[in-house]
Amino acid sequence: MNILGKSYVELLGLLNSKKISTKELHEYFSKREKKYNKELNVFLTLAENPGVEGEMPLAYKDNYNTEGIRTTASSKVLDSYISPYDATVVERLKKSKTYVFGKTNLDAWAHGASTETSDYGATKNPWDTSRVPGGSSGGSAAATASYLMPATIGSDTGGSIRCPASWCGVVGLKPTYGRVSRYGVIAMGSSFDCPGPLSWHVEDCALLLSHMAGFDPYDATTSSKPVPAYMEKLNAEKKLKIGIAESFFENVDKEVKKKIEEALEILRKMGHIEKKIKMLNPKHALSAYTILQRSEVSSNLGRYDGIRYGNDRSFFKEEAKKRIMLGTYTLSHGYYDQYYKKAQKVRALIIEDFKKAFDDVDIIIAPSTPSTAVKLGEFKKYPFFGEQMDILNEPANVSGIPSINIPVGLDSKRLPVGMQIMGRQFDEETILNVSYKFQRETNFFNMRETLLKKYHD
Amino acid sequence: MKNKKTLANEEIKHLAKLSALDLTDEEIEKYGDQLSETLDYVENLNELKTATVKEAHSVTESKDVFFEDGAENKRSLKEEIVFRNSKKTKNSQFVVDRILKS
């Protein structure tokens, strides 16, 4: 049977009707891993056990605790750490008939937007292996794009699902903060961290979210709001009012802008209405995010002392060290009001700004990243570059709203352009619905078929 | 971007100490420059008036939750699993370096 490029949902259907077996799937993806992983460097660890018959393979970003399997967060601090338990997301997905196929590369501690800060080497962008895949969930995005996995799980603290999804040309969903449990995901910015799925297909993200989401007694910030049947709502008829804020298009590459405008034209033809809105400049979200995230990092990374597990603090590399120290500074006596408190206040303004905007529109559309994928090594030239690549993603993290990246075509360098669709808090349903309809209308411009010609069986 | 060097080397050394990180002289110099650049960037927050704004401590209006005493904790770990990742244990305890000198 031809498996290449089939959606997770489709493979699951074939598995359930016994037209394909778990063994076949495992062998198929193991073969692809052997063929292409060397070139792309997406997997850090492969699980030893193939799944039980009836289970689907899934790959997780290596910051998810997976029982009995090494979990490194791409840092040598955790080089030999074997997870003693499953993260709630992993536990839930296992109950939904999946098994852990492998663990994917990320920027160490999820600090970055290129996957180059990994202590296990950079992941390469499948569209052009001289370029970065984006980050920090770069391994998950590249594995998805090259179909080394039908779907993967990542995490998004300040764009870490949407940035690599954008640069690798796949669908990546950052849910509402509190929609999915953070328990067992190596903590980075605890008030921002959002687990979410990536795939070539919107329906895969909808299905996986419905399995991942929901209240968890082990994460006090999860919501007890019921989880909607996302799959059933994908086809619902919706005519939406799309908000467009000029401030989200400042300093955006011309070709990226053009692709977004073309996508908007398609959405208008599908019957949606566009409305210009005024929103705070994303640079303020970037600043508030930077201060709050560094503060939370300094606290979360304080636990790594090499006593109970892992290596000692001398194993931290440059990016983690800088973030820990900056966070220590912004939380310290005398600077707390100037930085941390100020950022918390600006966070309140940004939350309010989105609330107001969503009184008027149903979704807000913007580019996911200001440019397409950059060359390996570019990030090192400018210390603040990575953060600035996430400037358009971070407003959604600061305000806790859901946002999805969908591919909208290739630029003249034949690199994917990503568009993000932001929604109201806990309204993943609407952004999945409009993304699904867009996929049906455009087949994402055959980008999957194009790339998989290169990554053939 | 021109650097104001908001963070002096002495301050970087102090932050490293508070963070329990050992830095080389080269690192101290470099991080001082780079972190100053970041602090310069975030100055744009002062363009926004926040005197009457209340800080946001949560994005989704979540409430305090409590775990009941004695409630079953399905996720407590067995002793052997707790110690499996540690390099130095003795009699079911973690071995740590001496802090107080006799």
All structural domains of chain A with their residue ranges: 8-454
Active site residue A136: yes
SS3 call for A435? helix
Is residue B43, in this structure, part of any structural domain at all?
yes
DSSP 8-state assignment for residue B48: S
Q: What are phi and psi of A364, to 5 degrees?
A: -125, 130
- Count the neighbouring beta carbons within 10 Å of the beta carbon of residue A49: 11
* Residue B4 pLDDT grade (very low, low, confident, very high; cuts 50, 70, 90): low
Is residue B42, in this structure, part of any structural domain at all?
yes
A99 part of contact set with chain B, CB < 8 Å: no
CA dihedral A184, A115, A205, A373 (to 10 degrees): 160
* Residue B2 pLDDT grade (very low, low, confident, very high; cuts 50, 70, 90): very low
Q: Write down the catalytic residue from A6, A61, A103, A174.
A: A61
Closest CB to A284 among B45, B64, B82 = B45
pTM of the model: 0.97
Residues of A in contact with B46 (CB under 8 A): 342
Is residue B94, in this structure, part of any structural domain at all?
no
| Contact call for B56 and A329, based on CB within 8 A | no
Q: Hey, which residues 293-312 in chain A have their CB within 8 Å of chain B?
A: 298, 302, 305-310
Structural domain including B13 reads 9-47
Give the pLDDT confidence score for residue B74 in this predicted structure.
76
* Burial zone of B85 (CB within 10 Å; 0-12 exposed, 13-18 middle, 19+ buried): middle
Closest CB to A325 among B12, B46, B56 = B12
| Contact call for A384 and B38, based on CB within 8 A | yes
Angle at which helix A254-269 crosses helix A428-442, to 10 degrees, equals 90
Q: How far is CA B62 from CA A69, A223, A413, A423, in A?
A: 33, 7, 45, 19
| Contact call for B15 and A329, based on CB within 8 A | yes
| Contact call for B55 and A322, based on CB within 8 A | no
Active site residue A160: yes
Q: What are phi and psi of B25, to 5 degrees?
A: -60, -40
| Contact call for B45 and A425, based on CB within 8 A | no
Residues of B in contact with A425 (CB under 8 A): 59-60
Tokens (6 digits) for A93: 């997905």
DSSP 8-state assignment for residue A59: E
CA A4 from centre of chain: 23
User: One digit per residue, pLDDT tens: chain A, 457 residues?
Assistant: 899 999 999 999 999 999 999 999 999 999 999 999 999 999 999 999 999 999 999 999 999 999 999 999 999 999 999 999 999 999 999 999 999 999 999 999 999 999 999 999 999 999 999 999 999 999 999 999 999 999 999 999 999 999 999 999 999 999 999 999 999 999 999 999 999 999 999 999 999 999 999 999 999 999 999 999 999 999 999 999 999 999 999 999 999 999 999 999 999 999 999 999 999 999 999 999 999 999 999 999 999 999 999 999 999 999 999 999 999 999 998 999 999 999 999 999 999 999 999 999 999 999 999 999 999 999 988 778 888 899 999 999 999 999 999 999 999 999 999 999 999 999 999 999 999 999 999 999 999 999 999 999 9
CB under 8 Å to A83, separation ≥6 — which residues?
Answer: A65, A66, A67, A68, A69, A70, A71, A184
| Contact call for B19 and A325, based on CB within 8 A | yes
Q: Is a pLDDT exceeding 70 seen at residue B5?
A: no
Chain B closest CA to A281's CA: distance in Å? 10
Span B43-81, pLDDT tens digits: 999 999 999 999 998 898 777 887 777 767 777 899 999
CATH code for the domain of B38: 1.10.20
Give the pLDDT confidence score for residue A178 in this predicted structure.
97
Are the CB atoms for A259 and A409 separated by under 8 Å?
yes
Residues of A in contact with B96 (CB under 8 A): 307
| Contact call for A284 and B44, based on CB within 8 A | yes
Give the pLDDT confidence score for residue B68 in this predicted structure.
76
Closest CB to A82 among B31, B39, B84 = B84
Residues of B in contact with A280 (CB under 8 A): 48
CB under 8 Å to A27, separation ≥6 — which residues?
Answer: none
Structural Rg of chain B based on CA atoms: 23
A250 part of contact set with chain B, CB < 8 Å: no
SS3 call for A449? helix
Active site residue A399: no
A354 part of contact set with chain B, CB < 8 Å: no
Give the whole-angstrom CA distance, residue A181 versus residue A87: 8
Q: Which helix (H) or strand (E) holds B102?
A: none
Is residue B84, in this structure, part of any structural domain at all?
no
Give the pLDDT confidence score for residue B1 in this predicted structure.
42
Count of domains for chain B: 1
Start-to-end C-alpha separation, chain A:
12
Are the CB atoms for A79 and A60 separated by under 8 Å?
no
Q: Write down the catalytic residue from A7, A75, A83, A136.
A: A136
Q: Write down the catalytic residue from A160, A199, A223, A298.
A: A160
CATH of A8-454, one of 3.30.70.20, 3.90.1150.10, 3.90.1300.10, 3.20.20.70: 3.90.1300.10
